C-alpha cells in the first residue's frame, strides 16, 4: 500500500529505504496508525523524516500520493452509516433455541477468535443472517440485531474529526531550505554531533552488564562491578575572523559563537580571533588584545582537538604572503600567512573551514587557495552538517 509513497518520497530527495519501509510495516502491523489516514500520516512522518529540512517535501509527497483517497473513504463511510441507519429502522430476526445454546457455549476467548476469523473470511454485506457480521441478524457480531446482547459484539463507531490531507496541505514548513542560514538552535543541534564521551575518574558508577557477567562467572554469587562515569571528551578550537569584509556576517558569527558557548557536551572549548589570515598569532578578544603566539597555542591544543575556522577567506592576494612570527606581527624572516594556515591544518587531525559567503562567491583567488589547505563548507544548515560529520570522523583527515 505504501511502497509507491516511499518512492514518491525518494523522488523528492527524502532519504528513505529498506529500514524505513520495514519500520513502517511493523508500525502498521501493530496498529499504531489506528486504521486511519490521519494516523498513517503521523506514523509515516515520525519514521521517514529524519531532519527538519525534509518536512515540507514529506507533505508534498503525501499530498501527491494520497490525493483523492480521503474523499473516497468519506463516501464509503457515509454509505456504511446509511446501511446501519436503514437496518436500525427494521425489526431484528429472533434467535432460535439452538442458536442461543451454541452462543452460550462460547467463552470470551472463543468469541474473540471467532470474530477475527469471520473478519478475515467475510467479503460482502449481510442482513438478517445468523453467521456473518451484518445487520438485523442473530449472529453474535453486528449492528441493529441481537449482537448487542452481553455475549455479543456490537459493531458501530464514529469517523475521525481531522483530515490528514488538510494537515499536509497546510505545509507549515514551506520554504525551509538547506541553504538557509542557521539560527542558534539549529547550530546547537548540529554541534551536538561532535560530542564524544570517555570514562574517567573514580569508578563509582554501576556497570550493569559487567556485574551480570561477573556474577554469572562467579556461579551466581553477586559480584558488583563499578566503572568510571562517562564524561565529554571533545575539545574544540574555534578561530573566528572578525572585522573588514566579515562585518556583514557578524550576526551569523555571533549565533555560532553563542551556540558553541551554550553547548554542554564539550570537554573544553577555546575561542580566539584573527583578521583575514593567521599571522603567527591569534587573539583572546575580538578587539585584538591579549595575543597568543601560534606555537604556544599548538603546544596547548593537541592534534586530537577539533579545529573550526570561520571566515570568508576574502582578502588581497598579497595578504596570504605577508611574513610574521609568533612574537613579531611583521617579521620579514617569519613564515608567510599561508604557511601558518598550513601548519594549523597539519597539526590538527580534524579541521574544517566554515564560510558565511554563498558558494557562488568562492571564485576569488584567496578562497581557492585556502580551500586547498582546509576542507571548506558553507555556513548553512547543510554545510554545517557536512562539516560536523567530517570533524566527527575518527583518525586524521586525508590531504
Q: Where are the domains of the chain?
A: 3-67, 72-154, 184-191+233-392, 199-227
pLDDT at 150: 42
- Overall fold of domain 184-191+233-392: Rossmann fold (3.40.50)
Which of residues 165 and 382 earns the better pLDDT score? 382
Please provide the average confidence, as pLDDT, over all residues in the chain.
Answer: 76
Which of residues 221 and 79 earns the better pLDDT score? 221
**Has residue 376 got a pLDDT over 90?**
yes
pLDDT at 146: 45
Which of residues 60 and 227 earns the better pLDDT score? 60
The residues that bridge with 198 in the sheet, in sequence order, are 231
Task: Judge whether 141 and 147 are in contact, CB under 8 Å.
Answer: yes
pLDDT at 109: 65
Packing angle, helices 3-11 and 37-48, rounded to 10:
50
**Has residue 399 got a pLDDT over 90?**
no
C-alpha distance from residue 350 to each of 101, 347, 368 (Å): 79, 9, 20
Closest by Cα among 158, 159, 131, 157 to 145: 131
Q: Is the pTM of this model over 0.85?
A: no
Amino acid at each position: 500500500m505504501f511502497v509507491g509513497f516511499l518512492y514518491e518520497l525518494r523522488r523528492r530527495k527524502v532519504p528513505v529505504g529498506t529500514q524505513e519501509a520495514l519500520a513502517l510495516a511493523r508500525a502498521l502491523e501493530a496498529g499504531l496508525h489506528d486504521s486511519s489516514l490521519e494516523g498513517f500520516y503521523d506514523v509515516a512522518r515520525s519514521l521517514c523524516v529524519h531532519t527538519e529540512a525534509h518536512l515540507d517535501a514529506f507533505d508534498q509527497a503525501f499530498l501527491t500520493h494520497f490525493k483523492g483517497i480521503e474523499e473516497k473513504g468519506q463516501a464509503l463511510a457515509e454509505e456504511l452509516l446509511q446501511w446501519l441507519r436503514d437496518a436500525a429502522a427494521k425489526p431484528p430476526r429472533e434467535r432460535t433455541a439452538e442458536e442461543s445454546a451454541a452462543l452460550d457455549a462460547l467463552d470470551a476467548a472463543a468469541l474473540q477468535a471467532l470474530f477475527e476469523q469471520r473478519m478475515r473470511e467475510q467479503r460482502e454485506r449481510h442482513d438478517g443472517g445468523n453467521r456473518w457480521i451484518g445487520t438485523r441478524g442473530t449472529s453474535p457480531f453486528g449492528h441493529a440485531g441481537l449482537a448487542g446482547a452481553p455475549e455479543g459484539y456490537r459493531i458501530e463507531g464514529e469517523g475521525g474529526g481531522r483530515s490528514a490531507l488538510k494537515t499536509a496541505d497546510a505545509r507549515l514548513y514551506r520554504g525551509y531550505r538547506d541553504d538557509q542560514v542557521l539560527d542558534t538552535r539549529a547550530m546547537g543541534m548540529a554541534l551536538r554531533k561532535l560530542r564524544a564521551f570517555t570514562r574517567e575518574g573514580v569508578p563509582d558508577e554501576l556497570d550493569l552488564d559487567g556485574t551480570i557477567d561477573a556474577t554469572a562467572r562467579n556461579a551466581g554469587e553477586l559480584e558488583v562491578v563499578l566503572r568510571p562515569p562517562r564524561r565529554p571528551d571533545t575539545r574544540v578550537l574555534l578561530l573566528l575572523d572578525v572585522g573588514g569584509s566579515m562585518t556583514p556576517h557578524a550576526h551569523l558569527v555571533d549565533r555560532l559563537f553563542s551556540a558553541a558557548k551554550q553547548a554542554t557536551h564539550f570537554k573544553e572549548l577555546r575561542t580566539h580571533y584573527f583578521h583575514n589570515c593567521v599571522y603567527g598569532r591569534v587573539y583572546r578578544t575580538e578587539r585584538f588584545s591579549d595575543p597568543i603566539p601560534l606555537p604556544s597555542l599548538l603546544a596547548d591544543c593537541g592534534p586530537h582537538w577539533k579545529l573550526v575556522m570561520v571566515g570568508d577567506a576574502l582578502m588581497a592576494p598579497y595578504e596570504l604572503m605577508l611574513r610574521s612570527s609568533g612574537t613579531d606581527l611583521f617579521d620579514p624572516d617569519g613564515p608567510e600567512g599561508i604557511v601558518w594556515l598550513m601548519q594549523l591544518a597539519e597539526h590538527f587531525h580534524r579541521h574544517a573551514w566554515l564560510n558565511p559567503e554563498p558558494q557562488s562567491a568562492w571564485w576569488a583567488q584567496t578562497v581557492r587557495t585556502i580551500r586547498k589547505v582546509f576542507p571548506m563548507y558553507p555556513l548553512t544548515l547543510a554545510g554545517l552538517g557536512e562539516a560536523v560529520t567530517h570533524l566527527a570522523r575518527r583518525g586524521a583527515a586525508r590531504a
